[in-house]
Structure 1
Amino acid sequence: MAHPGAPGRGFRRAARRVRPRGRGPRPGRGGGVSVDQGDRKGFVPPPYPYDLLDEARAAAAALPGGAVDLSIGTPGDPVPDVVATALGAAVDPARPYPPSVGSADLLGAVCGWFDRRLGLSLEPAAVGVCVGTKELVVGLPQVLRLRDPGRDTILYPAVSYPSYAMGAELAGCRAVPVAVDAEWRIDLSAIDEADAARALGLWVNTPGNPAGALDDLAAAAAWGRERGVPVLSDECYIEFTWDGSPRSILQHGTDGVLAAHSLSKRSNLAGLRVGYYAGDAELVHYLREVRKHQGFMIPGPAQAAGAVALGDQAHVEAQAGRYLRRMRLLVELLAGLGIEATLPQGGFYLWVAAPDGDAWGLTRRLAETLGIVVSPGEFYGPQGSGHVRIAVVAPDDRLDLVAERAAAAS
């Protein structure tokens, strides 16, 4: 009989299917299904990481009450009432195409938020909107390469959101991971100057996904300016900064930097796809103009609801309190199983070292004992192996069920 902490054969197969990022795609391996490419040598999508968790989901679903999915950072709490009201009031079948760059109300709300929360004075012309942050993250390398065809490289933290690397690959660029330090912060000193000379951009992420670390954004901005490399700062978890005040790379000047933000995490609006960006004036203008031609538009009602969401801080503070309570609960529950976890500096993920270094084994154990589905750390890069990421996004009643299971297991 297999050891309770050892992954089953299905888990081991899934682990082997996760391709380390930063390398070229494997021909004929799209979505985990054999594909006859014939004479074509083009890009074939690798398996989507979260599609590899079917066995864990099945094990968790077998428990009374079913699976509690904590593998993906999709907020599970309700849309704030003030936003739901605004969304309903904004529906108009005769409404024309919404502005690609963002409505005046939404751009004004973005500028107001930057002023109130970060003390930054921005003009609406220095801001643009995107159809959720992921769309911007994945699409930026292509646009940056059009802007600077002499360069071909995207730099990104070695343990990070998988879309940084995938965006580079989809644009035909080199995706080059940058090592992170013992605290999971990007190590700028590890960047090869030969790669920097070819770089279209450097991604940083504060608070970070998956580990919740806070990068030195002043140092990142200075690094990019010294080398003429745009620094792209993913700040979608900024409202959930636990160690100190929210921080943005824009607080260190806008030249040569771009900050990306989202209402998906902040306001539980993942389904509306409302994101925005701000920073270097020339780069923001370029993006706004290119995106007009691409036809990217946030639906008008979503823009109206987004403007209202940005003007209301009460629902954000309430959500932050929920996430902190849930993380503390899970830290306690894991300790009862002999698994050490600590609160992050920011974000709503617990980044947990597997006691024996076997992340897939821990994934199976948590599915079978607590009924929760978590993500093995290698989804976020090879340096993340040996860890799992737990997203505290399930509603409180579902986590109460997890607590009951933990009590029965201890």
Structure 2
Amino acid sequence: MIEGAIDLRLGSPCDPPPDLVIDAMASAADSLGPYGKSVGSPVFRQAAADWMRRRLDVEIDPESVAACVGTKEFVAGLALLLGAGCGRGRDTVLIPAVAYPTYAVGAELAGCRVVRVPMTDRFTLDLAGVDADDAARSRLLWVNSPGNPAGGLDDLEAAAAWGRERGIVVCSDECYVEYTWSGAPVGEVGLPASTMLSSGTSGVLALHSLSKRSNLAGGRIGFYAGDAALIAELGERRRELGLVVPGPMQAAGATAWSDQQHVTEQRERYLRRLERLAEAAVSAGCFDVRLPEGGFYLWLDVGDDDRAAVATLAGAGVLVQPGSIYGAAGAGRVRLAAVRPDAEIDEAARRLEALRGVLAGGAGWRR
């Protein structure tokens, strides 16, 4: 029996990184002496490019790939680093109506207006709903596919075309791409999901991370790839800020991008955990439940008052995030991160199932 609350609020991996990645990091300890390059070592950039070719069917020059100190750092800093290079009057950043909060935070740090793009009932971008004046003022459009928190899969080719037509840089945050569930069995080698770069690199960037893919969240390593001119410009500006991934982590990253077996095993873990929580939510009798198309979050409809739902679930010993923190359009939902060990997931599921009688008795937030 597990005592205390089960914390399903944060998407922080609990499973260990693969041994071969830790070994690679340890063997590269001598790389801590000299300064490294902000864009990353040739070995790291080549490994990332090779992974994109194998997994996403995209051929990209390693010179159009660059390392970042964890992708959250890149998300928070991109609007600022693009700066005046996007042209005068470009004071707006477009983000999904329901989105990871750092997109908005990064725009605000850059002194930009934040405009939320309407979404479909599948939580994908509805770019036709963007006001023409807002589009004309925009320097950057963020796309997140598979999405956090709702797990939707966007039409990335259409988003890239929309941005190119309007001179807007489009950055696709694809950090959950290895955990795409729609259209593929869990062990399949090829990915059903696309990447922004499938339609070419002009005016677009794609962002990838090892935090979730390889359980290296504490290692702070990812990469951005795409438009060669943007990669070069951002690399220069990031270098002046001292944004450099330490050499041992780059060695670990190159090894991680080169190995797929540990990802297949992790996919199986996350799908099992998602399915267990989803079954429990259905059993609780008050949730509109569907598995995400991608990612490892359950995005549950709990009616009008997501804060009350969070409190009720906390009372039962299950901590979750209210949907309203991801934007006003997320109100009435909660997010559960299926990232805890199996024993904790099973206990959280048991606690959810035990709520059935309570909620059926008239909890104020039940629909």
The TM-score normalised by the length of structure 1 is 0.82
- Given the alignment of the two structures, is residue 387 of structure 1 paired with residue 333 of structure 2, yes or no? yes
Regions of 4+ moved over 3 Å: 403-410
1:175 to 1:319, Cα distance in 2 relative to 1, 3 A: same
Aligned to 1:190: 129
Q: Which residue is 1:33 aligned to?
A: none
Aligned counterpart in structure 1 of residue 44 of structure 2, from 106, 120, 123: 106
Q: Distance in 1 between matches of 2:197 and 2:31?
A: 38
Hey, what does 2:84 align to over in structure 1? 146
| Aligned counterpart for 1:290 among listed residues 237, 260, 280 | 237
Separation of aligned partners in 2, 1:68 and 1:175: 34
Partner of 1:82: 20
User: 1:295 deviation in Å?
Assistant: 1.0
User: Secondary structure of 1:221's match?
Assistant: helix
Q: 1:314-334 CA distances to partner (integer Å, 9 max, x unpaired)?
A: 111111111111111001111
1:45-124 equivalent positions in 2, closer than 5 A: 65-92=3-30, 95-124=33-62
The structure-2 alpha-carbon separation of the partners of 1:399 and 1:94, relative to structure 1 and needing over 3 Å to count, comes to closer
Distance 1:123 1:214 in 2: 26
**Contact residue 276 and residue 346 of structure 2 kept, 8 A:** no
The equivalent residue for 1:127 is: 65
Q: How much identity, in percent, do the aligned residues show?
A: 52
The equivalent residue for 2:359 is none
Q: What SS class does the counterpart of residue 344 from structure 1 fall into?
A: coil
Preserved contact between residue 92 and residue 139 of structure 2 (Cα < 8 Å): yes
Match of 1:352 in 2: 300
Q: Distance in 2 between matches of 1:120 and 1:407?
A: 44
- Give the equivalent residue in structure 2 for 1:378: 324
In 2 relative to 1, CA 218–407 (structure 1 residues): closer, same or farther, beyond 3 Å?
A: closer
Q: Give the whole-Å Cα distance in 2 for the aligned partners of 1:114 and 1:407.
A: 41
Partner of 2:348: 402
**In the aligned structure 1, how far is the partner of 2:343 from the partner of 2:301?**
26
Structure 1 distance, partners of 2:2, 2:154, is: 41
TM-aligned CA deviation for residue 220 of structure 1: 0.5
Aligned residue type for 2:324: E
Deviation at 1:409, TM superposition (A): 5.2
Q: CA RMSD in A?
A: 1.5
- The one-letter code of the counterpart of 1:284 is I
TM-score relative to the length of structure 2: 0.91
Q: Deviations 1:207-245 (Å, cap 9, x if unpaired)?
A: 011100011111101101111111110000010111131
User: Quick one: which amino acid aligns to residue 114 of structure 2?
Assistant: A
User: Alignment partner for residue 210 of structure 1, among 149, 158, 161?
Assistant: 149
Q: Show structure 2 runs of 5+ residues with no match.
A: 184-191, 357-367
Q: Secondary structure at the match of 1:96?
A: coil
Superposed displacement of residue 130, structure 1: 0.6
Q: Does 1:343 align with 2:291?
A: yes
Change (3 A) 1:339 1:219: same
Deviations along 1:77-106, one digit per CA (max 9) or x if unpaired, are 111121122122222376211221101111
What runs of 5+ residues in structure 1 fail to find an aligned partner?
1-62
What displacement does 1:68 show?
A: 1.6
Secondary structure, aligned partner of 1:214: coil
**Which of 85, 99, 107 is matched with 1:168 structurally?**
107
Task: Give the total of aligned pairs.
Answer: 346
Q: Does residue 1:322 correspond to 2:269, yes or no?
A: yes
What is the deviation of 1:279? 0.7
Show CA shifts across 1:240-286 (max 9, x none): 11113121010111111110111101111000000100111111111
Deviation at 1:335, TM superposition (A): 1.6
CA contact 1:132–1:274 (8 Å) conserved in 2: yes
Deviation at 1:407, TM superposition (A): 5.6
Q: Which residue of 2 aligns with 1:299?
A: 246
On the 8 A contact 1:145/1:152 being kept in 2, the answer is no
Tell me the secondary structure at the aligned position of residue 232 of structure 1. Answer: strand
What is residue 234 of structure 1 aligned with on the other side?
Answer: 173
Residue number among 201, 204, 211 corresponding to 2:140 in the alignment: 201
Preserved contact between residue 31 and residue 248 of structure 2 (Cα < 8 Å): no
CA distance in 1, matches of 2:102, 2:349: 33
